[in-house]
């Protein structure tokens, strides 16, 4: 039964009911000690307007579509008014940023409205991003601009429909106010339209929530927080104990590995894999300067702040996740007091990732299973070939599916295959005879592997197209929608949201959303690299 009035949402608010609150109630920037959260009120705005909402997320909350189009919905999820059972708060956490301990961070521009239970007894936390300052905002204003909010809203939903574990987004609302931002930290700030996104997840708990207590030697609160996390988000593990903590960490390692495999599958680059941006549920969280690989470059990062070090480049994401888990292991060690269970869990990450990556590559190539005897070399050679010239990763796998390898490839068929793949290259002049010969040799080996698998062309195409998306949220597509939205035209946001609901199925009249990045977008702001500024 769908809820037709927001007042009928069933709030549980277990986080604030069971964890210690900051006794200070003033909203001034400060170090918050011996507390898990601070109560805080969202900042009211002058003229909010609903830009878009995700009907699928509304359904998770049991909300009838008509509710999402009311003024009450807009004012509630921009932070102008609170429902009776909402208890807004910001949480305290720390984290490693770019490999260095940063101390207290916390929800600097995120305000949690509370947690609800839907009719299936599923718990969903509601969080406003960009709704004003909190005690954790440090020198910032706690606000967000429309450009970054469009990106977060669209990407949250795009990732879900791609099958990638992620936080969700219920709504995107413009505030009617201007926000000052220096987009590239180059001394050129300007006023931009503000916005608020309502994010939704079973939990927004991060690695950094545990790190802050250990860094402060507050082991009593560390235990209280991990016990709360296990009983609330991992009840299947049983009563909290040192053994349960080890089992919990093992599951976090597994979930994290599975998430990273999905990132690598679709070519997603997070851009800011700090420990405070890592979810204990293995969800993609905090969509800042993210991007999708266009030309296949394992060394690419979308983050201007990371442009020199490239710590968070695409090819390094599996290793960074492992490093981040190591920091979480250090944080919970005082409760376990044994190294071996933590080492075993880290080994579980490596094993889960390796097996997951192999299965993922087998699916991307249309193989029944991954055979290390042949497929280690097959995949390694392919990934080297993709780097030789600027090759669109997304389109390569979709076009490769069109090459019929089921009966082998003769010389004419190899030439036809190269023609089929011709559309995936950004710089045709790079396609030298040497490159073509190397690609042909790989195609012959691949064709033989498909024949050994006894796969029909239709079976292979179906399998490949189920895991290799046709439509992804390329930065330039998001920027085109942002350009319109900043002029008050939200049609681009709506159209992208609709296309991205079915990323694996070719959609009539939507060819422009599955094209390579145009040359004009190669260096344009917002279309290539982005900063952490929002």
Q: What is the 3-state secondary structure (H, E, C) of 18-42?
A: HCCECCCCCCCCCCCCCCCEEECCC
Helices of type H across 306-371: 317-336, 340-364
Residues contacting residue 320 through CB under 8 Å, at least 6 positions apart = 273, 311, 312
Nearest to 296 by CA among 419, 382, 191, 358: 382
Q: What are phi and psi of 205, to 5 degrees?
A: -65, 135
| The two three-digit tokens of residue 320, written as one number | 């960074």
d(CA 366, CA 374): 14
Which is the catalytic residue, given 22, 62, 276, 453? 276
Nearest to 147 by CA among 192, 182, 200: 192
d(CA 367, CA 446): 10
Q: Find out whether 469 and 503 touch, Cβ atoms under 8 Å.
A: yes
Q: What is the 3-state secondary structure (H, E, C) of 59-105?
A: HHCCECHHHHHCHHHHHHCCCCCCCCCCCCEEECCEEEECCEEEEEC
Residues contacting residue 67 through CB under 8 Å, at least 6 positions apart = 3, 4, 5, 6, 58, 73
d(CA 65, CA 4): 8
Note if 276 is an active site residue: yes
d(CA 205, CA 85): 21
Q: Where in the sequence numbering do the catalytic residues fall?
A: 276
């Amino acid at each position: 039964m769908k809820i037709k009035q927001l007042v009928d949402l069933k709030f549980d608010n277990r986080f604030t009911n069971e964890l210690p609150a900051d006794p200070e109630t003033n909203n001034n920037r400060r170090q918050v000690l011996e507390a898990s959260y601070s109560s805080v009120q969202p900042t009211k705005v002058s003229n909010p307007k609903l830009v878009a909402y995700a009907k699928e997320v509304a359904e998770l909350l049991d909300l009838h579509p008509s509710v999402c189009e009311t003024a009450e919905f807009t004012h509630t999820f921009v932070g102008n008014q609170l429902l009776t059972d909402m208890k807004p708060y910001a949480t305290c956490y720390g984290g490693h940023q770019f490999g260095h301990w940063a101390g207290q961070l916390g929800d600097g521009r995120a305000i949690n409205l509370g947690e609800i239970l839907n009719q299936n007894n599923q718990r969903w936390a509601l969080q406003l991003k960009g709704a004003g300052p909190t005690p954790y905002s440090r020198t910032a204003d706690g606000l967000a601009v429309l450009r970054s909010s469009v990106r977060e809203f669209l990407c949250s939903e795009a990732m879900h429909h791609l099958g990638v574990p992620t936080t969700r987004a219920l709504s995107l609302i413009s505030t009617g106010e201007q926000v000052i931002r220096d987009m590239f930290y180059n001394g050129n700030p300007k006023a931009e339209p503000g916005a608020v996104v309502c994010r939704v997840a079973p939990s927004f708990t991060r690695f950094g929530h545990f790190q802050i207590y250990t860094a402060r030697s507050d082991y009593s609160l560390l235990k209280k927080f991990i016990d709360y996390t296990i009983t609330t988000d991992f009840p299947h593990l049983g009563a909290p104990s040192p053994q349960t903590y080890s089992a919990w960490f093992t599951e976090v390692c597994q979930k994290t590995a599975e998430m990273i495999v999905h990132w690598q599958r679709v070519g997603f680059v997070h851009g800011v894999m700090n420990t405070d941006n890592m979810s204990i549920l293995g969800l993609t969280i905090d969509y800042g300067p993210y991007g999708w690989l266009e030309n296949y470059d394992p060394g690419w990062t979308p983050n201007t702040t990371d442009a020199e070090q490239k710590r968070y480049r695409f090819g390094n994401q599996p290793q960074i996740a492992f490093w981040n888990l190591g920091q979480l292991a250090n944080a919970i060690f005082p409760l376990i007091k044994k190294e071996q269970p933590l080492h075993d869990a880290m080994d579980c990450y490596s094993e889960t990732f390796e097996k997951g990556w192999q299965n993922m590559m087998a699916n991307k190539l249309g193989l029944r299973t991954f055979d290390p005897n042949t497929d280690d070399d097959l995949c390694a050679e392919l990934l080297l070939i993709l780097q030789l010239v600027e090759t669109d990763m997304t389109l390569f796998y979709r076009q490769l599916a069109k090459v019929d390898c089921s009966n082998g490839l003769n010389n004419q068929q190899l030439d036809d295959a190269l023609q089929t793949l011709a559309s995936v290259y950004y710089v045709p002049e790079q396609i030298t005879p040497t490159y073509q010969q190397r690609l042909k040799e790989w195609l012959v080996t691949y064709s033989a592997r498909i024949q050994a698998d006894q796969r029909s062309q239709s079976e292979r195409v179906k399998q490949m197209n189920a895991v290799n998306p046709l439509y992804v949220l390329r930065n330039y597509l998001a920027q085109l929608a942002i350009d319109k939205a900043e002029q008050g035209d939200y049609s681009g946001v709506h159209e992208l949201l609709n296309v991205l609901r079915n990323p694996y199925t070719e959609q009539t009249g939507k060819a422009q959303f599955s094209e390579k990045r145009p040359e004009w977008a190669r260096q344009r702001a917002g279309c290539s690299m982005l900063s952490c500024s929002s």
